[in-house]
Structure formats: structure tokens, C-alpha cells
Structure 1
């Protein structure tokens, strides 16, 4: 049994406790509060002066499939040989030895969603994992956690260069719609014992059954509107990824109840789709009633800057409570793992960090990190 005592405990789903205790047994949180009795024989961690928070969560990364410092050998996030690769799985390409996982833990990020890239209109199955483990199978929180799709410039460029469909936005939308029509037809034959398995259509069928969400890469407002339109046509659960111009149609997104995993919001305007990138975007969306999570899209913005983005967004108008939820409980809900992580509450996994001070203060840093109640990092 582990007892973390004396710190400022920020549970996320409840009010902060100025001098609190988090009690852990068998990798799960058993108690959180100001008047928690520490059982005899418990290992005590003195957190006096520290802030105790759940591990941060980044809902859109390429950790482990786009390894840093390995060049071509570590780039496994895009199977750009067919516009529809719904059947490929991020889990099959993750290298837990990617240095990005160590950077994540040291900066308080203890869980991430790993996505295929955005080279294809339909890119493949995503997976939610913890950032610590010897094999990816040890790390899995939810497999699959979604199906990646891309609108906009990336698939248009990739297949335009190959002089094949899709070479345009209308072609990209047609590829997606045609794939869903085939999946609908596939579902109609579920009771046919002679039907052959089709891994692409099985993946798409999981989206149509609402078992997993459709993760729609879209930066421009018109691409976001296309994502909303196709989702309405086929009736699946939608998550907008990036949403660089989402603030331009915030009311439309809010009315549909679609969450936005927004970011990165720090960086250059490296392509035309990013001309309206803004640190104010998350605050505008949240004020309009859109549920937001903030992402680094690692390695495009290194994972260790997740909390820095959040702090800068608060500076530009995002309220503090929503800001902390945007990298804890909200991404956990988007990923379907909120029963295990995202807040400090009895029954949840003991994935938490001790910070030297307010995590939104750029001078604060992670002093200790625990995954399943085991210390995996100490400064």
C-alpha cells in the first residue's frame, strides 16, 4: 500500500485539497481527501509543498510509430499505398523504446492516443496506451480507440503526386463515403455463414456500430464542415482532430455536440491550412460550449510541451478549470478510458504525478511520476 501525503491534491472532478492524501492499493486509488487515515505499514511519500495531479493525457500523438532520431527506420505511421487502409493498426508499429515515451513521463504525460498518420483518407485504427511498459500489450488502455481519417491537403497531395484518386477534396470525401456504403452492405450480410472476412470493412463496421469514434483530421473550417456532413449521413460518433479553424464555426460544432482535439496551437504556419492557427482558439471553442482536449500531435510539437500549450491558452482566454480538464478528464472521455484514468478518484488507476508547483506555471516541473502505483520517474 502507498500513501502520498501532505500535497495540494487536484482531483480534477472535485475541488482541490490544500493538504491532502492519496491512498493506493494494488495499483488502484482507494481514497482521496484531507482526512484519509494512513494504514500501518503503508509506504509513505511526503508530498509537502508539491501539487498532486492525475497523469496528463494527450489524445492525438504518433508516439512510438514516428520515432525521434531514427530517421526512415522509425517512420511507421503512414501506409501510403492505398487511400483506404482502415485495417492497419497503430498498435502493430509502436516501439515502447521510443525516447518520446520517456520525455512524456518526465513532463507528466502518462497516457496517450497513438494514431496512424494523415496521408490517407482512411488511415487506420488508433490505440490508447500508457507511456510505461516493456511491450505495447502491457501498455494498452483501449484497443482500438478509434479509426483515423484525413480530409484536406495531406491525402490530396499524396495521391495527387501518384496521379490517382483522390487528387482533390471532393475525391477524398468520395473515397470515405464509398467505403462506408460498402461497410453498410457488409453489415447486412452479418448472418451469412459463407461471408468472407474483410478487415477493412470490419474496421469501418465498428464505427457504424458506434463501438469506436471516427477520428477526423481536419484543419480548415470547410473540411470540418465536410466531416460533420459525412458523419450526419452515416450516423457515427465523430471527433474532430486539429480543428485549426474550428473557432470560425464554433456554434455549428457545439450544436452537433462534437468534441475537438485541438492542436498543436504552438508552431509555425508551415502550410496553408495553418494560416489561422491561434492560441485563442481553445478558449473560443470552450466558451461556445464545445468540449475540447489539447494535443501536441507529437512529434510535430514535442510531447513535453503539452502543458506549456495549456498554460499559453489560459493566457489567451481559456478558463483554468477547462484547461486542466483538456489534458486529463476530457481526453480520457474522448478515448473511452475515463473509468481508469483522467482524474484522482477511488477505483481508478494510480497514474499520477507530483509537481513542484502549479503545473500551469512554466517554472514547475514533475518531481515524481507513478503508473499503477509504481514509481516510474523521479527527478
Structure 2
């Protein structure tokens, strides 16, 4: 049992900020309020400190690209085929890599991680906590989204012959979706009769949850035309989707907002390393949020090291994003967008006890995290 006393608590709930206490027991938040007490509790004095929910990264590749190593530890892009929906991100994660430790020590407690953007369809993302040695024991929710990618990355990886144009990217995605609909219809028509079932196809099996809207597409799209193509296809097949990166979203804000899809914006703390990033700007989160969109902010780690997620928010705030909305973008908004807000993203009774205690405003680059608590356990103490 842990009792955090007298902190400036960012609950990310209706009562946004309180000066008070948090009682933690059995891995959960038991009580949030003032003048709390509990026998036999470990007391953490948070007087003068800032207390946040554990930070949530809505799109990354943490653990799939290991630190200080090349091909031996790069497991986020499988380039043998542009259509690989049957891959699962969790099969490539090394939770003992130092990048995961660095994230945890910086207060990032939950991440949504999975395949990179080499493929038109790249496989499923998994949501996991950043504490543990076995990924299976760290998982919050598995197979939460299907990665798809538009634009320069698939073109670059397959330019030798399999894929050369944006038309073919869209064509391969449509073909797979049509085949999945047909495959699913045949399975349903067979009504359990194995003699009438279509021949097993692992790739199409993996796409069934997308067609049934059980999981969204996680659409890598930077340039405005690629964002619009992703929206066009999602609407055509009546799919759920998130707009990941959405780099030129500020140029087509009405179309992006009217799509009804949420945006996970970034990474903005990078060089403009390719043509489709030429309009990259830290103003994009503010423009989309002020238009009424639900947004999260991403590092896209390892593109930006995971521990700099709050810094990315700070720079977005410097460029016009409201500070509280910025914190929402890496807490409750991120949790809602990836579908785990029932467990993480805010400090509320009954939720997982993922808490960060810092010696100042987390948006101040000089601020240091002093405690990271995951599932009620202190996993980092400065």
C-alpha cells in the first residue's frame, strides 16, 4: 500500500487539478482526495511536487528496435512482402532493451507498439506496460490495431519491382480488403462445415477483425494526399481507423476533422528527412485540437527517443497548443484513442496505479521525474 501525500495532482478527470493525496493498494488507485490516511502504508511526501498519470504513447516501436545495435536488433520492418497482416508486434519486442528502461524512468508507463511502415499492411500493434522481463506478462491489450502505410516508405522499401507507386499501395490494400470480405463470407456461409470452408489463409484471417470493425487500421500517412487516400479507403469499406503522424493534417484540417478519425500527431522533433515531411511543424497539434479534434502526440520511437515524449508536448505547447491539452495528448487522450482508458490515462479510483511524481511541471525541460509507479509498484526512484 502506498499513500502519496500533498501533491499537485493532475487527475485528467472532471476536477482537473487538485492539491491532495492518492491511496494505492493491490495495484489499483483506491482513493483520490485530501487528508487521506491509511495504516501501514508507505508514505511518499509529494509536497511541492507535480503528480501525473503514467504517460501513454499511442504509436511507437519501443522494444522492436534495440539500442546500440543494427540488424541484429531491428525487428520492426519485415520486407519480404508488402502485405504482411499476419505479423504480430509482440513477437518482435525485447522488453529488456535499455530503451524500455529509459522510457519507464521518464514516466512513460504504457505504450502502443508494433510494426513499422515498410509494408502496405504490416501486422498488429500491442499495448504494454514498460515494466517487466516477459512481454506476455506486460500486455495490457493485444492485437489492438492493424498497421497500414501510405506514401514514401512502402515505395522506398519495394521500389525494386513489387511496388512503385501510391496507386499500387492503395490497390494492394483494397485487394486485401476485398479478398477478406469474400473469405469471411465463405466462412460464414459454411456455418462450421469444414468441407465447405475456404482454404485457410493466415493473412486474411488476420484481416477479419479489421473488416468486422473489431480493431482499427493504424494508418501511417504524412502527406495530405496520403491522409486523404487513407480516409477514402476506410470510408469505402466502412472501417475504423486512426490517422498516425498526420503531418500535413493542418493543411486539410476540415477534411481530417470531418472524417471522424482521431489523429496521433508526430514525430515533429526530427530533421525533414524526406519530401513528405517538408510541411512538418509543431503547430499541427494545436491546429487540429483547436478545430475540435481528439489528438495524441507521438515520438514514433525510436525516431525520437521514447523518454522525450513530454519534450515533444512542450514544443507543441510552445507552438500554440494549450498546455493542459498537451498533457491530455500523452495521458487520457492517448489512452482513449488506443482503447485502454478504462485502465490508464487518468488518476481515478479503480484504475491501474500508474503514477508519475516530478519535481516540477513536466512541460519544463529542466523538470526531473522522481518516481515512476506502475501497477502500484515503485519501478523508478531518483
Pairing partner for 1:275 from 264, 268, 278: 278
Q: Which moved more, 1:325-334 or 1:168-177?
A: 325-334
Partner of 1:362: 365
Pairing partner for 1:312 from 305, 315, 339: 315
Partner of 1:155: 154
Pair 1:336 & 2:339 matched? yes
Partner of 1:139: 138
- The 1-side partners of 2:97 and 2:186 are apart by 42
Partner secondary structure for residue 269 of structure 1: coil
Q: Which moved more, 1:229-238 or 1:10-19?
A: 10-19
Partner of 1:87: 86
Pair 1:174 & 2:171 matched? yes
Partner of 2:29: 29
Partner of 1:60: 59
Please, what TM-score do these two structures have when normalized by structure 1? 0.97
Are 2:82 and 2:119, in contact at CA under 8 Å, matched by a contact in 1? yes
Point out where structure 1 has 5 or more consecutive residues left out of the alignment: none
- The 2-side partners of 1:290 and 1:364 are apart by 29
Please, what TM-score do these two structures have when normalized by structure 2? 0.96
Q: CA offsets per residue over residues 69-114 of structure 1, 9 Å max, x none?
A: 1211100111111111000001011101111111101111111111
Are 1:17 and 1:34, in contact at CA under 8 Å, matched by a contact in 2? no
- The 2-side partners of 1:17 and 1:336 are apart by 24
Q: Which moved more, 1:40-49 or 1:366-375?
A: 40-49
Are 1:186 and 1:201, in contact at CA under 8 Å, matched by a contact in 2? yes
- The 1-side partners of 2:275 and 2:62 are apart by 25
Partner of 1:12: 12
Pair 1:189 & 2:186 matched? yes
1:17 Cα deviation after fit = 4.3
Pairing partner for 1:347 from 344, 350, 354: 350
- The 2-side partners of 1:341 and 1:67 are apart by 26
Are 2:8 and 2:19, in contact at CA under 8 Å, matched by a contact in 1? yes
Partner of 1:111: 110
Are 1:250 and 1:290, in contact at CA under 8 Å, matched by a contact in 2? no
Aligned residue-pair number? 376
After superposition, the CA RMSD in angstroms is: 1.1
Partner of 2:202: 199
Are 1:63 and 1:98, in contact at CA under 8 Å, matched by a contact in 2? no
Are 2:177 and 2:207, in contact at CA under 8 Å, matched by a contact in 1? yes
Ranges of 4+ aligned residues in structure 1 off by more than 6 Å: none
Partner secondary structure for residue 288 of structure 2: helix
